[in-house]
């Protein structure tokens, strides 16, 4: 299995939808992808009405399971990709806020110097 670095550069503000959504202080990273066409190799089943023998029913059950696993596999990949993006987003926000905090502290020190009475 070849693992490729397929990170994208999307810079969206994202947050786990069912983790912090209730708090309202964090944007969501849940972005509904448009339901794409089925991946190659997926064959649509015959309608249930056309199944007769137990073997056909078993095959249909197996096919449904494989389809579900394949979809979940892809969903998990996409979920992890979004999570990585979200973490990157948070990290860059931390960096920005740290710089901002540092500047504010410096400004505060300057103002203190200006305002403090000279003791001599």
Site residues for DNA per CB under 7 A: 1, 3, 5, 16-19, 21, 29-30, 32-33, 35, 69-73, 75-80, 82-84
CB of 88 to DNA, least distance (A): 11
**DSSP at 43:** -
- Residue with Cβ nearer DNA (78 or 109): 78
CB of 105 to DNA, least distance (A): 31
C-alpha–C-alpha distance, residues 100 and 28, integer Å: 24
- Residue with Cβ nearer DNA (32 or 52): 32
Number of other CB atoms surrounding residue 44 within 10 Å: 8
Q: Are 41 and 69 in contact (CB under 8 A)?
A: no
- Residue with Cβ nearer DNA (68 or 103): 68
Q: Are 85 and 8 in contact (CB under 8 A)?
A: yes
CB of 24 to DNA, least distance (A): 12
DSSP E strands in 1-120: the ranges are none
């Amino acid at each position: 299995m070849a693992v490729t670095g397929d990170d994208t550069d999307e810079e969206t503000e994202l947050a786990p939808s069912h983790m912090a959504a209730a708090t309202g202080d964090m944007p969501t990273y849940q972005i509904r992808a448009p339901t794409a066409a089925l991946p190659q190799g997926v064959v649509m089943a015959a309608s249930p009405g056309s199944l007769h023998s137990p073997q056909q029913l078993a095959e249909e059950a197996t096919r449904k399971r494989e389809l579900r696993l394949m979809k979940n596999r892809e969903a998990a990949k996409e979920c992890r990709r979004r999570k990585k993006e979200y973490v990157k987003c948070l990290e860059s926000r931390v960096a920005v806020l740290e710089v901002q905090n540092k500047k504010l502290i410096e400004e505060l020190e300057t103002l203190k110097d200006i305002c403090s009475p000279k003791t001599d």
